[in-house]
Amino acid sequence: MRNIDRWLGTGITLALTMVCKLQNIFRTHRAGPVKKILFVKPAEQGSTVLAHAAILRATKMVGRQNVYFLVFEENRFILDALDVIPGRNVICIKTDSLVSLVVSAMAAIRRMRSLELDSAVDMEFFARASAIFTYLSGAVRRVGFHSYAGDGPYRGNLMTHRLVYNPHIHTAQSFEVMVEALNHPAELFPAFGMPAPALSRSALPTFTPQADEIAAVRSMIRELTGQAQPPPMILLNANCSDLLPLRRWDRHKYVQLAQRLLVRYPAVYIAFTGAPNEQALVEHLVLEVGSERCFSLAGRTTLRQLLIVYAAAEVLVTNDSGPAHFATLTPIDVITLFGPETPRLFAAPCERSHVIWAGTVCSPCVNAYNNRQLTCRNNLCMQLISVDEVYDKVCAVFDRRVENHSNGMQAAI
């Protein structure tokens, strides 16, 4: 998809930029008030969670029913879990095949244009595909990051409100700034005197499952643990198929961590989570741990059921990936291992979110300016995170939770 975005997207954005310039020559009317807002954020479930405050800001501006979202179909579930806009306002693009991608993309463009949108916010940093969809939405007011002096990949000149990407403010703050930019004249930018909004402006909603979903998860946990009630659980997300392999923590370290935790906490069960395509690898890790109190959930749950599992557990250990963010919709404590990206921009702004970061001088090497291209092949930033360090953090967090009896969601399921 990155290659398609680079080689095909560059040509399309260049051609559309020419069309846009011609349109601007003959356009005589000015954009009216903001009435309907479209967010374009096809990929990354975690970033969608970080966009929660920005979406709330948009709903306050134009009303919940007038906010729309363009997303890849596999990422839709997080919008449903956030429940900030009506489900019918989510426009999905399928990516299971090239034919599905093309057909559903064309359908999405027709749907967007039929809505007569006046405003669109491109929440990708420098992706060309999102800029193309933002322009083709038909919105006359378009907000997005622009590469003014080559400080980012070229993606044409398709935005009316062209913002400079600021790598010194959190991603959630950047998203809110983009929404606020809709209320200001396009000619104002790139200068923008708005102070960065506070990260704690709006709390994330708590995921509320249906009764039948809770029953199904209870039954699954009972079957896997042999316990009548959900036992204390610590979850490990080894992320065996991460799209950014440099973000992985060594799988054998997860095995060592699990073994040490099982020794320290005789009543605790360890569950490895993962996607369906990770099932075989995760089950192999469980065999390496070699305990009846360790089991695999990889491929066994839907994403909604996975949120219920999070709510039933005490601690999740994961690398910087989607689960680190959407787990914050539940009461679980999340320990996130950062490496090639920085927690200063991407850590979940939540009091139950804990970060471990080696902070090597070469990190972060993956960023918006290089379009998250991977040049390093030796992720020392992750290798330098020791089992001891993660073990100590998990124990501290787990012991505090037990002491405070802060396990309200588990009691409910």
Q: What is the pLDDT of residue 325?
A: 92
360 residue type, one letter: T
Q: Is residue 201 part of a domain?
A: no
Q: Is residue 353 part of a domain?
A: yes
d(CA 270, CA 262): 7
The shares of helix, strand and coil residues in the chain, as percent rounded to the nearest 5, are 45, 15, 40
What is the CATH number for 223? Answer: 3.40.50.2000
d(CA 379, CA 393): 22
290: domain range? 211-412
CB 304, CB 208: distance < 8 Å = no
Regarding whether 144 and 215 lie in a shared domain, the answer is no
Q: Is residue 368 part of a domain?
A: yes
Q: What is the pLDDT of residue 267?
A: 94
User: For the chain, how many structural domains are there in total?
Assistant: 2
Q: What is the pLDDT of residue 406?
A: 47
Q: Is residue 199 part of a domain?
A: no
Beta strands in 82-199 (DSSP E): 90-93, 119-122, 141-145, 161-163
Regarding whether 162 and 245 lie in a shared domain, the answer is no
For the chain, 413 residues long, the average pLDDT of each consecutive 10-residue run is 75 87 73 91 87 94 96 91 93 91 94 96 90 94 88 86 92 94 91 85 77 93 90 90 78 96 97 91 95 94 93 95 92 94 90 93 83 79 96 96 63 46
Regarding whether 221 and 174 lie in a shared domain, the answer is no
For the record, the structure tokens of 324 come out as 């680190």
d(CA 289, CA 285): 6
Regarding whether 178 and 221 lie in a shared domain, the answer is no
Regarding whether 66 and 123 lie in a shared domain, the answer is yes
CB 334, CB 352: distance < 8 Å = yes
Up-side HSE of residue 355: CA atoms within 13 Å toward CB? 19
**In whole angstroms, how large is the CA radius of gyration of the chain?**
22
Regarding whether 183 and 249 lie in a shared domain, the answer is no
Regarding whether 245 and 151 lie in a shared domain, the answer is no
Q: What is the pLDDT of residue 112?
A: 97
Regarding whether 289 and 173 lie in a shared domain, the answer is no
SS3 39: strand
